[in-house]
Amino acid sequence: MRMQFSKPSDRIVLPLDVSNLDKAIALVSALAPFVGVFKVGFEAIYSTMADLLTLDWENALERLQKARMLARAISGKGFLDVKLNDIKNTVEKAAEAVARTHPRMFNLHATAGQEAIRAAVEKKGDALVFVVTVLTSIKKDECVSIFGDEPSVKVLQFADFSVDCGVDGIICAPAEGSLLRKSSKFDGLTIATPNIRPTWDNRPDDQDVARQLTPRIAILAGIDMLVCGRPITKPLAEIGGSANAARRISDEIAKALS
C-alpha cells in the first residue's frame, strides 16, 4: 500500500553519508524535526563495522555504544540503504538479518532478480521493501551499455516485475518516477527519488542532471519521497544552516501538495 504522510517534511529522506558516528548523531539531533527518514548507507555502515573490528577494545566499545545511540535516535525513521544484490538464498538470509534491526525500510537491487526480490519481501518483517532500479548517477549511454536500453525503458521494466513480487516501493530518478505515476499498475507503490535539487542549489555533483527534478516538480509529478542530501547537510552560506534548508524544501513540498 502506498505510504501516507502526515506532514510535508515526512517526505524528505536525508542521507547520513558520513563515516563518523558523532557527525551522524549530530545530524539526526539537529534535523529530526525537519525530515521524515534518515538513510544509512554504505559509508556509515562499513565505517562503523571497520571501527568495531579494528579498534582496540575500549574504543570499539565506545563506537558500539554510539551505534546503538544512533539506532535509537532514528527508530521509526531509519532507512537501511543496503542495496542487496545476490542469489536468492543470500538475499533471503540478509533480508532476515536486516529485518531484525526493525528499520522503517530497506532496499535491494532489481537486478538481483524476481526470486531474490520475493525472498526479501517474505523476510522483511515489519519493514518496507524498496527496489533500486537504475542508479541516478548512470547516464543514458552508460545505461544502454549496462542494461541494453535507456533508463526510461529499464526503470519501467524493473518496476513492472518488482510490483508483481510484492514490493512496497521503487527507487529511481525523478524523471522516471514521473513516468511510473502515469501507469495505474504502480498506484499502490511508494516512489522515492534521489537526484532532487532545489532551484537555489545548482552545484554540480555526480548525478545525471538530465534525470533531475526540483522538489516542487517532483511532488507535482506524483513522487512520494525525496532523497535530498548535500543541499541540507552542506547548505550554501546564504541559506542559513541545515535546518533552514530542510524547512525551505518542506515549504516547497507543501506548496506543491496544495
Q: Domain of 45: which CATH number? A: 3.20.20.70
- Within the chain, strands assigned E span 12-15, 37-40, 78-84, 105-109, 128-132, 169-171, 190-193, 225-227
Dist CA 122 CA 166 (whole Å)? 9
Known active-site residue 139: no
Is residue 2 one of the residues assigned to a domain? no
Dist CA 151 CA 149 (whole Å)? 7
Q: How many domains is the chain built from?
A: 1
Choosing from 23, 66, 83, 88, which is the catalytic residue? Answer: 83
pTM, two decimal places: 0.95
Is residue 1 one of the residues assigned to a domain? no
What is the span of the domain harbouring residue 103?
Answer: 8-257
Mean pLDDT by 10-residue block, N- to C-terminus, for the chain (258 residues)?
A: 94 96 96 97 97 96 97 97 98 98 98 98 98 95 97 97 98 94 96 92 71 90 95 91 96 96
Residue 211 is predicted with a pLDDT of: 75
Q: How far apart are the first and last CA of the chain?
A: 22
Helices assigned H by DSSP within 80-222: 88-99, 114-122, 140-147, 151-164, 174-180, 215-220
Is residue 3 one of the residues assigned to a domain? no
Dist CA 6 CA 250 (whole Å)? 12
Residue 208 is predicted with a pLDDT of: 65
Is residue 191 one of the residues assigned to a domain? yes
Is residue 44 one of the residues assigned to a domain? yes
Radius of gyration in angstroms for the set of CA atoms belonging to the chain, rounded to a whole number = 18
Dist CA 17 CA 39 (whole Å)? 8
Dist CA 136 CA 250 (whole Å)? 22
Is residue 225 one of the residues assigned to a domain? yes
